[in-house]
Every structure is written in structure tokens, then in C-alpha cells.
């Protein structure tokens, strides 16, 4: 029995495969009809202790389309945190004023702690470099929508595989769906062995590459991420590799018809703008899917959709 009512979502591994699929199914319902006024008597708290464009606005958009009210703040500067209020006190206070808390906080593990303290459910909208589970859900939704299934896909993950939290969560989630992973990164930004262990433990295969062009012919999904120069201990090394992970339109000539290109955004230069008009580019639609997925999650946690 799938029971999402009153559940927190802190880490993607908190949810089983069936629970993840349930959220995606409800999201499809919201994609068909986004303006279902089911939240009219609800107040949702949106606590963003650090800046965000897509995540905060898509959560707030999700609530507004459902007819709910939003309270909260978009930076720690406009809350009592600035006066030195503890996270515990902030959460306990806000939980008196709302039915659900959505929180982004720069401290790793802050979301788990908030969920322990809070009497109302908590959705993690990013806790430092740790987890960002709603990004993972919208990535899964986008993959399923473009490929018709999540099972047995050839998934190419490109760029900073070492520090990118979205990549780590996506690997954990796709390991439930028999994916084959093609990992394209510079030597110094390879996927951490702890994350590779997830793949191995699931009995699945991964292959590692340093050239982006190698995976394009057979990939179903090309998941691009940003390589940040400051991640390299040696700036010379960054200069050497930075251009080898830039996708441009001509590189897609030999790709599969069904290939779709995803990116958690913001992008800097890793996808040339000439790719944007290619029907295989899916990253802006992917960001739009974030609203449906967040609507689904909120509705499921409040027990308004089953």
C-alpha cells in the first residue's frame, strides 16, 4: 500500500520505486489539468535560506496554480535567522502557521533535522551539497515522458560527476529501473566510488569515458551538467578539459532519433545555444515539468491525491 500522506521528502531514497512512480503518475494528471483548485484552504511555507530561481519559483507556482497560499522568505536576510534564531526555533514557529514546509538551506543535513523537529511534513528543496530530491523527481518525470519508460535505458551523465548532487541522486533513483550508466567526465571529476557502489549493488553496469562524442551515438538520455572551474585544484587542467564537454548541434548528427538532452540548469556554456532549437533539446521543458512534479508531491503529502 502506497501511503504518501504526511510523509516528508528529504532524500530520494526515502521513497520506494512504487512511491516514486505514484508521484510521477499524479504529476501526469497535473500536466493534463494544471489548475485544479485543491489547495484553497491550505497555507504552504516556503523557507529559502539561500537564493534560488527555478526551485523556489516552481514550488510557488505549483502552490498558486492549485489555489493555495504561500508564506515564507526568499533569503535568510529577511527572517529572524539574521537575529541568530536557530533552525529549530524557525521551523517550530513556521509549523504553527502552515500545513507543509518547503525548505532550502545551505547546511548539509538541515532538511533531515527540520523534518525531525517539525510537526508538519517537510519537503527538501536542497540542503547544501547533500540532496535535492524534487530535482530528481522532475528528471525522472522528464525521462519517462520522453522515452515512454524508465526501464532499461542507456543514460549518459556528462560533466562534473564528482560534486554534482543531482547526478548522485539520479544514479540512485535510476538504479531502481535497470539503467545502464555511461559516465563522461574529466579524470578528476569522476563519479565517487560510493555512488558507483549503488550501481554495482543493483547488479547494473556502468562505463566511464573522457570524450563526450563517444556516448552520443547510443545514448537515450544525455544528462549534461556544468563543470565549475573552481572545482579543479589545477587551473591548467580546467583549461585543458573545459571545451571537451561543450555540446553543440553538429555533434548530435549521429545520435538516436529518440535521444533527449537534459540539464538541471542553470547552464553556462556546456550546451551551445545552437542546440536549443534542436527537437532533442529538452531542458526548458524539463524545468517546466518541475511544476507538475511539485504539484503532485504537495497534493500527495497533504492527502489530496492518491
Partner 1 sequence: MNSKRTELKVQAIRTGTVIDHIPAENTYRVFSMLSLEKSTDHVYFGTNLESKKMGKKGIVKISNKFFEPEEISKIALVAPHATLIEIRDYDIVRKYKITLPEEVHNLVKCVNPKCVTNNQQVPTHFRLITDHHGKTKLACLYCEKTMSISDIQFL
Q: Which of 251, 261, 263, 187 is nearest to 225 (CA)?
A: 263
Give 274's DSSP letter.
G
- The catalytically annotated residue of 56, 132, 260, 305 is 132
Q: How far is the CB of 188 from partner 1 (least distance, A)?
A: 20
Please enumerate in sequence order all residues whose Cβ is within 8 A of that of 252, keeping only pairs 6 or more positions apart, or say none: 216, 259, 261, 275, 278, 280
Nearer to partner 1, 67 or 128 (CB): 128
Query: Cα separation of 29 and 32, whole Å?
Result: 5
Q: How far is the CB of 183 from partner 1 (least distance, A)?
A: 16
Query: Cα separation of 219 and 217, whole Å?
Result: 6
**194: contact with partner 1 by CB under 8 A:** yes
Q: Is 166 a catalytic residue?
A: no
Where in 11-50 is the site for partner 1 (CB under 8 A)?
11
Determine contact, residues 168/142, Cβ cutoff 8 Å.
no
Nearer to partner 1, 110 or 180 (CB): 110
Query: Cα separation of 177 and 189, whole Å?
Result: 25
Query: Cα separation of 60 and 46, whole Å?
Result: 8
Phi and psi dihedrals of 53, rounded to 5? -100, -70
Q: Which of 153, 51, 57 is nearest to 105 (CA)?
A: 51
Choices 20-28, 133-141, 191-199, 289-297; region in contact with partner 1 by CB under 8 A: 191-199
Site track for partner 1 across 57-86, x = CB under 8 A: -----------------------------x
Size of the site for partner 1 (CB under 8 A): 21
Where in 195-224 is the site for partner 1 (CB under 8 A)?
196-197, 200
Q: Is 93 a catalytic residue?
A: no
**87: contact with partner 1 by CB under 8 A:** yes
Choosing from 73, 113, 209, 218, the residue that interacts with partner 1 (CB under 8 A) is 113
Residue 153 Cα to chain centre, angstroms: 19
Choosing from 129, 213, 244, 248, the residue that interacts with partner 1 (CB under 8 A) is 129
β-pair type (221-224, 154-158): parallel
Q: How far is the CB of 85 from partner 1 (least distance, A)?
A: 11
**128: contact with partner 1 by CB under 8 A:** yes
Determine contact, residues 292/27, Cβ cutoff 8 Å.
yes
Residues noted as catalytic = 54-55, 83, 104, 132
Enumerate binding residues for partner 1 (CB under 8 A).
11, 86-88, 106-110, 112-113, 127-131, 193-194, 196-197, 200
Amino acid at each position: 500500500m502506497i501511503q504518501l500522506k504526511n510523509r516528508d521528502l528529504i532524500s530520494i531514497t526515502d521513497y520506494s520505486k512504487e512511491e516514486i512512480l505514484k508521484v510521477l503518475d499524479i504529476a501526469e494528471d497535473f500536466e493534463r489539468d494544471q489548475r485544479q483548485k485543491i489547495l484553497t484552504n491550505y497555507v504552504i511555507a516556503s523557507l529559502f535560506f539561500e537564493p534560488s530561481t527555478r526551485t523556489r519559483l516552481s514550488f510557488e507556482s505549483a502552490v498558486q496554480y492549485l489555489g493555495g497560499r504561500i508564506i515564507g522568505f526568499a533569503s535568510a536576510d529577511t527572517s529572524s535567522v539574521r537575529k541568530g534564531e536557530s533552525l529549530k526555533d524557525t521551523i517550530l514557529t513556521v509549523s504553527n502557521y502552515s500545513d507543509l514546509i518547503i525548505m532550502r538551506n545551505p547546511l548539509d543535513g538541515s532538511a533531515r533535522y527540520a523534518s525531525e523537529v517539525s510537526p508538519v511534513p517537510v519537503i527538501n528543496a536542497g540542503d547544501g551539497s547533500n540532496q535535492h530530491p524534487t530535482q530528481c523527481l522532475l528528471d525522472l518525470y522528464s525521462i519517462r515522458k520522453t522515452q515512454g519508460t524508465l526501464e532499461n535505458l542507456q543514460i549518459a551523465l556528462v560533466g562534473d560527476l564528482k560534486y554534482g548532487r543531482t547526478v548522485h541522486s539520479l544514479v540512485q533513483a535510476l538504479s531502481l529501473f535497470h539503467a545502464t550508466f555511461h559516465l563522461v567526465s574529466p579524470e578528476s571529476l569522476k563519479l565517487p566510488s560510493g555512488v558507483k557502489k549503488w550501481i554495482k549493488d543493483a547488479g547494473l553496469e556502468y562505463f566511464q569515458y573522457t570524450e563526450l562524442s563517444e556516448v552520443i551515438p547510443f545514448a537515450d538520455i544525455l544528462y549534461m551538467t556544468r563543470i565549475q572551474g573552481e572545482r579543479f585544484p589545477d587551473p591548467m587542467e580546467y583549461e585543458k578539459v573545459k571545451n571537451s564537454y561543450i555540446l553543440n548541434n553538429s555533434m548530435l548528427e549521429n545520435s538516436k532519433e529518440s535521444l533527449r538532452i537534459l540539464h538541471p540548469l542553470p547552464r553556462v556554456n556546456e550546451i551551445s545555444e545552437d542546440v536549443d532549437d534542436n527537437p532533442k533539446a529538452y531542458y526548458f521543458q524539463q524545468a517546466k515539468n518541475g511544476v507538475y512534479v511539485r504539484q503532485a508531491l504537495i497534493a500527495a503529502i497533504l492527502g489530496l491525491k492518491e
